[in-house]
Structure formats: C-alpha cells, structure tokens
Structure 1
Amino acid sequence: MGLAVSEYQYYEFVAVDRPLTVTQQRELRSLSTRARITSSSFVNDYQWGDLKGDPREWMQRYFDAFLYLANWRTHRVALRLPIAVLDPRTAAQYCVGESACSWATRTHVILDLYSEDEDGDDVYEGGGHLAAILPARAELAAGDRRLLYLAWLLCVQGREVNDDEPEPPVPPGLGELSGPLGALVDFLRLDPDLLAVAAETSMPLKEKTPSMAALSRWVKSLPEAEKDDVVVRLLRGGDAHLRSELLARFHGTTPNESTGGRRTVGELLAAAGERWLERQRLAREREAAERERRERAAAAAREQHLNALAGRQEQAWQRVATMIETKKPKEYDAAVALMSDLKALAERDGDTEAFHRRVRQLRERHARKPSLLDRLDRAGLR
C-alpha cells in the first residue's frame, strides 16, 4: 500500500455454515464489479470509494463473519451464530456499548466489535486477519464464553460502562487465550494490562471432552421425540452447529465460571492502571541495569585497550607522526584518536607531564596544518 494513497478500506465477508447460492452471488455482484466473490466469501478494498451495501444487512442475509479495516485506524469484526448455540440474552449481557453490540434475527445472533485507535500503528493491509480470528467463532459456538468477555472488556476500555457496574461472569481460561482469541485481541487492540487484571480471577481452562458413559446416560434420558428430531436434522445435513448445540445442552451452564465477588469496572480500570505503572517501573529498572552493564563492558574493554597500549607508547607516537605526514583527513582523524588513547593512558598512570610535552612539540612542528590543529583542539589535545 503506497503512502500516496489517501484512503484505504478493506472489507471481507465469509460464509461458514452454508455456501452462498448462485442468486446470492449475483446479488452481491450487482453491488460490486471489482470484488472477489466466491460461494463462501466477498473481499474488496477501496481507495477512492466505499462499499455499496450495509454490512449489518449483509451479515443478516448472507454471511457468518465480517472484518473491516481502514487506514484511519478503524478496525471492526462481526460474527453471526445460530441462536441454538448462543442465546441472544447471553450475548447482550456482555455486548453493552458501541465497541461491542449484539442483535438478534429470527434465527441468529450477531456480535459487532469495533475499535478505533488514533494513536495506534498504521496497518494498511487487511488480508489474513479474518482467517486468523475466524476459529474463535467455533469456540464460541462450542460454549467457550471468553470471546464475549473480551467484547465486554472492549466496552470497558472505551469507557462505555459505568465505574460502579459489576463485571459479568468471568469465563475460565482468560489467562491462556487460544490463537484465534489472541488474534482478535491484537486486531481490536485490547489493553494488555486490562486483560491481565481481568484474567486474575479466571479459573484454568479444563478440557470438556465428556466420557462415553456420561454421553450414553444423557442420550438415554432424552425424550424419543427429541432423538428423532436430531436424527432427521443429521440426515438432512446443512446444520453445521448440531454437535455444538447438543454438547452445550449436555454441559448445561459453562463450568468454572467465576460468578461470586465480581469486581466493578472502576476496580478493573484502577488495577490495570497500577499494573501499567508497575510495568513502566520495571522497564526503567531493566533499561538502567542494561545501561550499567554496557557501561561496565565498555569500561572493561577500554581498560584492556589501554593495557595493550602500555609499554608501547614510543611506537604509538611514531605511528602518529607517520599518519600526520600523509596529510590525509582520515589519517589525521586516526592520529588524533590514537593520541586520545595516549592521553587516557597518561592520566591513568600519572604521566601527564610527559604527554603534554609531546603534544606541544607536535603542535609546534605542524603549526602550518590548520586542519590538524583544529582536530587537536576539538579533542582537547593542547
């Protein structure tokens, strides 16, 4: 993306649960002649225009995921899930502001996550982001509520929730995000300190693979009519979330959610601020320690260099004379550098009188070399 382009907008839509029909693809093509349209996606970028359609409407009619990026640092992600795997009321409990909102259709619930950071890094390429984030949708469909809590934190970060509001139930595993959730956090630029303090009360994530015996008991307890319905849906196909829906019913409410002693928004923000200050303090200490280490290493190297020069002062003065006789600027610089080493050695060994006498003699001998004398003056060799 060249710097000369004043605008850049990237739109990517993906259909996951069922492909777009030929009619639907034709409808989308009528709105864009440039877009890359397939049975599962719509991708386009704009430098001097905009999408001729409403992403909200497209999410309701066509797609299961949407990502938007603009070079004025606006980032947006939307996900659509069947209400059979995500209760709209649960989504609304976490999506409580402009940074994260949700709404429901007759069959689906849609999450819309938004981030605008005027001071963020310039990211002008949209390709690849949605592919990294998209598996988080399947995690949410399987009952993992971490994405919803991250959406709520996004609203907290945007100061869209009152300080005295308590946090919603904290899902397990916030301290060990999956790769897709980590990609979502990065794309939406969620404050790492806010996430870290939020994760402090999150239980460890436990594998929820049920045993065959437990599944068998649960299946036997289902009414025959429900079993028949499941078999029919399975045979008909096209129900991508049937397994997730059944497992969600099997597990009931998500285990290990922290529901007691919830913190308020103000407490989370204050703790995040304190954590940021502590990180800055530790960073300054590390920088100071590293600076001290470099200084000690430089001093040791300098001492080693002077030790190598000790006892060879006469040869060094001869090299100085030889370099000056060339009358070349680079050789002048090298001669002055060597004389500076000789000065440091003389100061260390308490022999400055002899050194200054040699410098005065050298200056008198080369009094008609102003370029050399200027270098000597700037190096403090008088």
Structure 2
Amino acid sequence: MQAGPIKAIQNITLLHCIENLPPYQFARDRLQNRSPAGPRRGELSTWIRGLPEKDKNELLITAAVDLGERRRNDLVRRFRRRNLQQTSDVLAASERRKAGDLLAAAHVRAKERARLLNEQRTAEAAKRRAEDLANRERYLDQLGRRQLEIWKQVAAHVQTRQPKDYDRAVSLLTDLHDLSVRRSQTAGFLTSPEKIRQVHAAKESFLSRLAKANL
C-alpha cells in the first residue's frame, strides 16, 4: 500500500478518536439532536429528589462552588439580593412593630389624659354646683331677713308695666318661693301670688311670665 492512502487512513482514524472524546462527543451529540452520554435530566431529577436532605444540600453547594465564573457571579448576586431583601424585610417588620407600639402607647396616653380631664371637669362642675348652692343659701338667708321689703319691690316692679320690671318681679317671687320651701312655709307663700294674679289680671304679659315660672 502506498504512503498517501495510509496517511489518509491514519488521519481519519485520529479524527474519529478525537471526535469521540467526551467534550467533542457531547458537542456532536447536541448538534445531531441526540441525548449526551450519561443519565437524562428526568433521571437525574428523580435521583436527586430521592436523596436525603443533607446530601441534596451538599450536592447543591458543590454545584454552586464548581460553577463557571459567570454563573457563579450570577448566583452570588442572587444570594446577596435575597439576603438584602430578607434583611430589609426584617428591618421593615421591626419598624412596623415599633410604630405600632408607639401608636398603641400614644393611644393609651390619650385615653388616660381624656379620663383625667373628664374627672377634672366632673370635679370642677361638682365644686361649682356646691359653691352655687352655698351662695344660694346665703342669699336666701339674707332675703329672709327682709321679706316685707322684697314684697314691696315686687309690687313696684309690676306697677311699671315694663317687660324688664316684670322679669325682675318674677325673679324675686321665685326667690321668695325657694325661701318658703327651704323653711317649709309653702302654704303661706302660695296665697300671695294668687292675690297678685287677681290684682293684676289685666296684665297678660306679667301673668304669662308667672305661668312659665310655675308660680
């Protein structure tokens, strides 16, 4: 056999060997739409799913460490982004809790202030009523010492036929009525307004004021 044909056969044999090395064989199989040598993706998936959790974690860590530079950088970015998001979520949740605690505390303080203010107002109102009652009793005591003079003032106010004097006359009659109640002498008082009605029957405005005052 001549040297030319032998050399050609050697070249073809060498090329065939190179093409059947794992990297070239994988590339060739991909170009020819054939599955590469080794287990298929589904087979690997089934096998990995059946591994213990510890083995799966170790396998995942090894795969991440052994990835190429570009894929490893992408994985690191995803890890950092996720870690940053988790940290942000924790901080946000903490801030929400702090804000909620502050709002709750403010609400409690506001309720306490409202309660104290209400108690203060109630106490002040009771104090004013007690003071008004004491002042009223002192006034009636003074009025009791000059009843005759007060009756004369009532008659004088009614005679003027002026609305303001009518009001003043009714106010004095109310004081005299309260004095009679305080002294348990209402029977004697009731005859006086009745006589006034008879004397001033023509003064409808005055009589109307007496009726409104329940006199």
User: TM-score interval w.r.t. the shorter chain?
Assistant: 0.5 to 0.7
Counterpart residue number, 1:117 = none
Q: Which amino acid aligns with 2:129?
A: E
State which of 156, 171, 174 in structure 2 corresponds to 1:340.
174
Counterpart residue number, 2:187 = 353
After superposition, residues 221-370 of structure 1 pair within 5 angstroms as 264-370=98-204
Q: Give the CA deviation at 1:365.
A: 0.7
Q: Which has the higher contact order (CA 8 A, sep 6+)?
A: 1
Secondary structure of the residue that 1:367 maps to in structure 2? coil
Distance in 1, matches of 2:125 and 2:111, equals 21
Distance in 2, matches of 1:350 and 1:344, equals 10
Q: Residue 165 in 1 paired to residue 94 in 2?
A: yes
Q: Which runs of 5+ in 2 are unaligned?
A: 1-90
Distance in 2, matches of 1:369 and 1:314, equals 23
Q: Give the CA deviation at 1:297.
A: 1.1
Secondary structure of the residue that 2:94 maps to in structure 1? coil
Distance in 2, matches of 1:311 and 1:272, equals 58
Counterpart residue number, 1:133 = none
Q: Give the CA deviation at 1:355.
A: 0.5
Q: Which amino acid aligns with 1:165?
A: S
After superposition, residues 73-222 of structure 1 pair within 5 angstroms as 164-166=93-95
Secondary structure of the residue that 1:350 maps to in structure 2? coil
Secondary structure of the residue that 2:139 maps to in structure 1? helix
Distance in 1, matches of 2:203 and 2:144, equals 29
Secondary structure of the residue that 1:380 maps to in structure 2? coil
User: Could you list the per-position Cα deviations for residues 50-104 of structure 1 after superposition, in whole angstroms to 9, with x for gaps in the alignment?
Assistant: xxxxxxxxxxxxxxxxxxxxxxxxxxxxxxxxxxxxxxxxxxxxxxxxxxxxxxx
Secondary structure of the residue that 2:211 maps to in structure 1? helix
Aligned length: 125
Distance in 2, matches of 1:314 and 1:354, equals 14
Distance in 2, matches of 1:271 and 1:308, equals 55
Higher share in strand? 1
Q: Give the CA deviation at 1:166.
A: 3.7
Q: Which runs of 5+ in 1 are unaligned?
A: 1-160, 168-262
Q: Which amino acid aligns with 1:280?
A: A
Q: Which amino acid aligns with 2:170?
A: V
Runs of 4+, deviation exceeding 2 Å: 164-167
Q: Which amino acid aligns with 1:370?
A: E
Distance in 1, matches of 2:157 and 2:107, equals 60
Distance in 2, matches of 1:312 and 1:354, equals 16
Counterpart residue number, 2:56 = none
Q: Which amino acid aligns with 1:307?
A: D
Distance in 2, matches of 1:370 and 1:165, equals 78
Aligned-pair identity in percent equals 40
Q: Give the CA deviation at 1:269.
A: 1.0
Structure with the greater alpha carbon radius of gyration:
2
Q: Give the CA deviation at 1:285.
A: 0.5
Task: Provide the TM-score with structure 2 as the length reference.
Answer: 0.56
Distance in 2, matches of 1:281 and 1:344, equals 37
Q: Give the CA deviation at 1:315.
A: 1.3
Distance in 1, matches of 2:99 and 2:206, equals 68
Distance in 2, matches of 1:362 and 1:277, equals 56
